[in-house]
Amino acid sequence: MKDEELKDKIEDQPVENSEETVEKSDEEPAKTEEKPAKVETKLTKIDYDKKEEKPAEKKSSTSNNGVLVIAILALMTGVIALSMLFVQYFVPSISSPVTLYNNDGNNNITFEEGAPIADVAAAVSPSVVSIVTETRTTSWYGSYDSSAAGTGFIVTADGFVVTNKHVVEGARTINIIMDNGTEYKNVKLIGTDPLNDVAVLKIDGVSDLKAVKLGDSKTLRAGQQVIAIGNALGQYQNTVTAGIISGTGRSLTAADSTGSTYENLSDMIQTDAAINGGNSGGPLVNAAGEVIGINTAYASDSQSIGFAIPITGVKGLIRDAIKEGKIQRAVLGVRYYSLDAAKAKELDLGVESGAYLYTSNSSSAIISGGSAEIAGLKDGDVIVAINDTYIGPAGSLSTLVGEYSVGDTVKLTVVRNKQAFEVNATLTAYK
């Protein structure tokens, strides 16, 4: 087999077998297996100036060929561009744990069998917040002050909030407006995921906020009913739209409108629930009222094609942010290629799906000093399951590892030379 037939993949941001290219903007593309559709997107860029953090203030408020372009949903009222920045961590006090619900049966519930859409929306909306950021952008034409609007959702009673990285990236100030109009100013940015479009914020001085329930995205099925809630167009707070899961495991590349900067997004949930500019960071919710995804992008030149990050893939990061007061992503320390049945058969690996530890260059797929090396994994191994959850149907290797925290020990089911064995690995932090 020729090396160029496989893509060199790192564990935490793998390139899927049928890759789509997407742009970050206010519109979304349709993705196809054989030929990627083209879409336009804009991803907001915000210049981040380090500054002394002030405590949160509470205040009442009334309130083109082959390129798939996907709209990243943060809405800016000033200059719009894309930037890949990592933000300094802020360290808050340790707080209450995230409410995690992993009942597989909840993804089988429909709105008719469970609560009506209106009841689910009413129960979840108090936990959904609007995020407004202030930005100073400098260009050849001078400096401009601008603001951006996005969405987030509360995960603990003491004020931890999850959103998209591109909503807050580079922001000089971050303000949060609750469903009831209460506004919190100078909200802290705990940090951003180095490998995914996720950020965690902290509202200080609160203890009685209503938190969402986090569901299990590993058991999602095409056709399952969902709702999306968000700050549509940056002005229609907590807009509710309904639809279904159109597909899972989607890979795409999001780019700014100029096509000059790209960001890979993998293992995404596809939904036809309407997602609009400003919805970025809002929850995708199942009929049980549990968050199963983070709304992130939509296809700009088509209708009813939106994408969300699976919640399973960020549960570990959320736990660590709450417990440690900083962002750290658990990894195995491997580079891999996601296998489907056709490619696995072509390579005669003795499996139908999994993560093939392989690189197309001379470097090893096993990162030196990482968990996989310590556990004895080798180039050419195929990881087929993590804690008995199979890679492929439930998500990619990166997503399944993302459910766990740094320091957790997981059981890996591995196939080497068509022989299966199990080995334990203790996850380390991405560096």
In angstroms and rounded to an integer, the radius of gyration of the C-alpha atoms of the chain is: 21
What values do phi and psi take at 290, rounded to 5?
Answer: -105, 140
Secondary structure percentages of the chain, helix, strand, coil, to 5: 15, 35, 50
What values do phi and psi take at 154, rounded to 5?
Answer: -80, 130
Of 179, 197, 272, 320, which residue is the catalytic one?
Answer: 197
What angle (nearest 5°) sits at the alpha carbon of residue 131, between those of residues 128 and 133?
A: 175
Two tokens, residue 21: 């290219």
Residue 208 known to be catalytic: no
Give buried/exposed letters for 75-104 (b at 16+ CB in 10 A, else e): bbeebbbbbeeebebeebeebeebebeeee
Of 166, 246, 272, 398, which residue is the catalytic one?
Answer: 166
- Would you call 113 helix, strand, or coil by DSSP? coil
Contact 289, 83 (CB under 8 A): no
Residue 179 known to be catalytic: no
- C-beta neighbour count of 360 within 10 angstroms: 15
CA dihedral 212, 218, 221, 226 (to 10 degrees): 10
Residue 147 known to be catalytic: no
Two tokens, residue 405: 């925290």
Contact 74, 167 (CB under 8 A): yes
What is the 3-class SS of 47-81, one letter each residue?
A: CCCCCCCCCCEEECCCCCCCCCCEEECCEECCCCC
Of 125, 127, 130, 280, which residue is the catalytic one?
Answer: 280
Active-site annotation, residues = 166, 197, 280
